[in-house]
Amino acid sequence: MQETMNAKGSRDASRTLLGGWISRTDLAQELEISEATLRRWATERWGPPCVRAGRKVFYRRSAVVEWLEDQEAVNQRRARRGGRR
């Protein structure tokens, strides 16, 4: 199997097995929340959908973006109703 290298000599993320996925650790850092929060959300079946591969948990990047956009829409509806933000 041939790997695609970019100009800097590293692997092209879109060509690797996990190119469209992000780990729980990395997602927590990007969202500036704790991994424990993401763990709790998964237990409560809330938050972005995730998959487990052994002990590792991964999130599809496109699903996270979609979930965030859904949260934006929910917050806008609450604001119009005078609900809590």
Residue 7 pLDDT grade (very low, low, confident, very high; cuts 50, 70, 90): low
Strands in 56-60's sheet, in edge-to-edge order, are 21-23, 56-60, 51-53
**What does the pLDDT read at residue 32?**
97
Residue 1 pLDDT grade (very low, low, confident, very high; cuts 50, 70, 90): very low
Rounded Cα distance, 1 and 64, in Å: 30
**What does the pLDDT read at residue 55?**
94
For the record, the structure tokens of 79 come out as 């604001």
Residue ranges of domains in the chain, CATH in brackets: 19-81 (1.10.10)
Residue linked to tokens 């469209």? 20
- Summarize pLDDT for 28-83 with one digit per residue, the tens: 999 999 999 999 999 999 999 999 999 999 999 999 999 999 998 877 777 766 65
Rg (CA), the chain: 16
**What does the pLDDT read at residue 6?**
54
